[in-house]
Amino acid sequence: MNLVVYEDAAAFEVLRREWNELVRRSSANTIFSTWEWMSTWWSAYQPGLLHIAACRAEDETLVAIAPWFLTETETGEQVLSTIGCKEVTDYLDLIVDTAYVDAVLPRLAAHLQEHTSRFDTVFFCNIAEDSLTYGQLPQHLEAQGFTIELQPEDVCPVVSLPGDWQGYLTQLDKKQRHEVRRKMRRVLGQNTEVDWFIVDDTHDLEEEMEYFFKLMAMSDPDKAVFLQDENNVRFFKNLAPIMLKAGWLQLNFLTVNGDRAAAYMNFDYEGAVLVYNSGLDQETHGHLSPGIVLLAFNIQHAIETGHHTFDFLQGDEEYKYRMGGKDRRVFNLEARLG
């Protein structure tokens, strides 16, 4: 097996044609592993030096990408992390062809051992409990002399969707089922014009993103602070048109008398809807519970369009459980030699 390390952004163009084909052959087949996500993240943040390790089989087929980078902490410690780490990316993992896992993992672990002069710590964040980095990589790192610590990071409440809306409602407890129905009836029964729409190429995406940022900032002081970081805003602005072009963006709004009352920025990928971020005008329209109503419309639409999963992504907010979410645990892995 041939392993090549790329240390500048040209790697994204070199590997572009093969990248997503490999993602689809891997167990890390999430939107966060795609070329689009990782190259856009790197362009927005560029926190250190790239160290992308790519493995090829004897026939030159790309069978693994370890999308890593090196960064220095405020104390001078050199850390090897995964592109996308940490706040704006919910799942991260090695991208390995499932047919080559047994050959690739020991090779990557040996590569890390060979390059320990370049870093003090390995820190792989946001690894799901069913990922290679959580379930299989640690034993190979330990075989190379690393000490491993796995730390809980967060949970991602996930809903397995049935074939129809009524089937979904029966998955909820009786009280919550009643609440969802009541809130939908109330908003539709008001003497107001209520509608919702998903942004597509007939809309001005740049304008719609400005509406979205406004609702984000209105909904939560922490989100308002998040949007004060120009890197975060740049990432969102750069990402949205790329996701729309790929057919993965599901930016949607609930309108009340023409005013945008709530919004979700979701991603539609491989049969799953991923709830990435949201915004809400609570002051003007809070009495209508527009966030929950729009969320219900989103879930109903996901069922009607044949999706199998509705993933709330990271965060244990109560509403996610009321809407049927079941935890998928997410961890951080820290490794040091010796």
pLDDT tens digit sequence for 250-277? 999 999 989 999 999 999 999 999 999 9
Q: Identify the structural domains of the chain with CATH numbers, from first to last.
A: 2-155+330-337 (3.40.630.30), 162-307 (3.40.630.30)
Percent of the chain past pLDDT 90, that is, above it, reads: 93
pLDDT tens digit sequence for 215-224? 999 999 999 9
Q: What is the rounded CA–CA span in Å between residue 143 and residue 45? A: 33
The top-scoring range by mean pLDDT among 32-36, 181-185, 192-196 is 32-36
For the segment 9-21, the average pLDDT, to the nearest whole number, is: 97
Give me the pLDDT at residue 98, please.
98
Give me the pLDDT at residue 124, please.
98
For the segment 22-43, the average pLDDT, to the nearest whole number, is: 98
For the segment 150-156, the average pLDDT, to the nearest whole number, is: 98
Give me the pLDDT at residue 191, please.
63
Nearest one of 4, 13, 3 to 43, comparing CA atoms: 13
Give me the pLDDT at residue 18, please.
98
Percent of the chain past pLDDT 70, that is, above it, reads: 99
Give me the pLDDT at residue 86, please.
79
Q: Per the structure block, which two tokens stand in for 281? A: 């005008």
Band of residue 190 on the pLDDT scale cut at 50, 70, 90: low
DSSP symbols for 104-128: HHHHHHHHHHHTGGG-SEEEEEEEE
pLDDT tens digit sequence for 57-112? 999 999 999 999 999 999 999 999 999 997 899 999 999 999 999 999 999 999 99
pLDDT at residue 189 above 80? no
Q: What is the rounded CA–CA span in Å between residue 62 and residue 23? A: 11
**10 Å Cβ neighbour count for 173?**
11
Give me the pLDDT at residue 193, please.
87
Give me the pLDDT at residue 212, please.
98
Instruction: Work out the mean pLDDT of the chain and round it to a whole number.
Output: 96
Q: Per the structure block, which two tokens stand in for 258? A: 């023409």
Whose structure tokens read 């089937």? 167
pLDDT at residue 1 above 90? no
Give me the pLDDT at residue 201, please.
94
Q: What is the rounded CA–CA span in Å between residue 22 and residue 176? A: 41
